[in-house]
Structure 1
Amino acid sequence: MTIDKRIVLSSDHSAIQMRQVIAVHIKALGWQAIDIGPMTAESTPYPKHGEGAARLVASGDCRFGILLCGTGQGIMMAANKVKGIRCGVCMDTFSARMIRQHNDANMLSIGVRVVGEGLALDIVDAFLTAQFEGGRHAARVEMIQTLEM
């Protein structure tokens, strides 16, 4: 399987079950799931899981990343500290499409205490099927990239 079909998944302890459901779902769609998240419910800090997944995307080892925590916010903030990462929290399919089409997002974050399983899978599908539109959006993504240190 090529890097273009590899997706890294990670979460904190609150989202293990949803992460595993998403892994099965994306495999059924033809993607390779690289699951680096915790396997036990023991409390674990989301920043290390967001960073770990983000580094695999930033290095080019994985095409996309999907992150999960209670709200999706904290793990997304950690991931976005890694140079080259554009991760957005999405609680609806419209936002998931837009972060790909307009922002060329390479990571998606979902809050498992905010959305249910069915909606989470729809959000993943919207993210994975959307394509970056380029054009005027490319210039804006370049502006975001210039902010990275």
Structure 2
Amino acid sequence: MTSGQRIVLSSDHAAIELRRAIAAHVEAAGWEVIDIGPTTPESTHYPVHGRAAAERVAAGEARLGIVLCGTGQGIMMAANKVPGIRCGVCSDTFSARMIRQHNDANMLSLGARVIGEGLALDIVDAFLGTAFEGGRHALRVGMIETREA
């Protein structure tokens, strides 16, 4: 069973510093952070880190997840291979709100080489501060989920 305020964070080597800034930011906002690394700058493989975070969300260990790599694209693709995960890469706050409001995304992906820290924190706030709208969107999310079977 997961706490409503538990979030998992992971990245590859390209995004360690931004991940740490996000972890501090969401902790200050009252979230319990599960930061699964990495902690050292040696080159790592984003698919491993994306999958590890996604598996924790899918297992219910965390309600939401945030993953980061250089562009946010590769780690997002890896996360989305885990059944039950809906992860979107965002470089703006509008998209972050929409992936929660319309797609019930349970993971956010960010590109550390694409956006700076200030914008990243704004995107995280938009993602975390938006609820799923349901209604016609629930039908569409259900259609996505049936494709996983």
Letter in 1 for 2:75: I
SS at match of 2:42: coil
Separation in 1, partners of 2:16, 2:61: 22
Q: CA offset at residue 79 of structure 1?
A: 0.2
Provide, for residues 52-76 of structure 1, a one-character-per-residue CA deviation record: whole Å limited to 9, x for no partner.
0000000011000000000000000
Residue type of the alignment partner of 2:109: S
1:65 paired residue number: 65
Residue in structure 2 matched with residue 4 of structure 1 by the alignment: 4
- Deviation, 1:122, is 0.1
Structure 2 CA distance, aligned partners of 1:37 and 1:53?
10
Deviations 1:106-132 (A, max 9, x none): 000000100000000000000000000
Partners of 2:18 and 2:132 in 1: CA distance = 26
1:105 shift after superposition: 0.1
CA distance in 2, matches of 1:93, 1:71: 16
Q: CA RMSD in A?
A: 0.6
- 2:147 maps to what in 1? 147
* Pairwise CA distance, 1:3: 1.6
Counterpart of 1:64, as a letter, is L
1:37, distance to aligned residue in structure 2 (A): 1.5
Structure-to-structure mapping, 1:99-138, within 5 angstroms: 99-138=99-138
Unaligned runs of 5+ in 1: none
Counterpart AA for 2:115? V
**Structure 2 match to 1:18:** 18
Distance 2:34 2:122 in 1: 20
Name stretches of at least 5 consecutive residues in structure 2 with no aligned partner: none
Q: What's the TM-score, normalizing by structure 1?
A: 0.98
Matched, 1:41 2:70: no
Q: Secondary structure at the match of 2:88?
A: strand
Q: Normalising by structure 2, what TM-score?
A: 0.98
CA distance in 2, matches of 1:47, 1:35: 16
Aligned residues: 148
Separation (CA, whole Å) in 1 of partners of 2:21 and 2:108? 15
Does residue 1:30 correspond to 2:30, yes or no? yes
Residues of 1 paired with 2:33 and 2:60: CA distance? Answer: 15
Identity of aligned residues (%): 73
| Ranges of 4+ aligned residues in structure 1 off by more than 2 Å | none
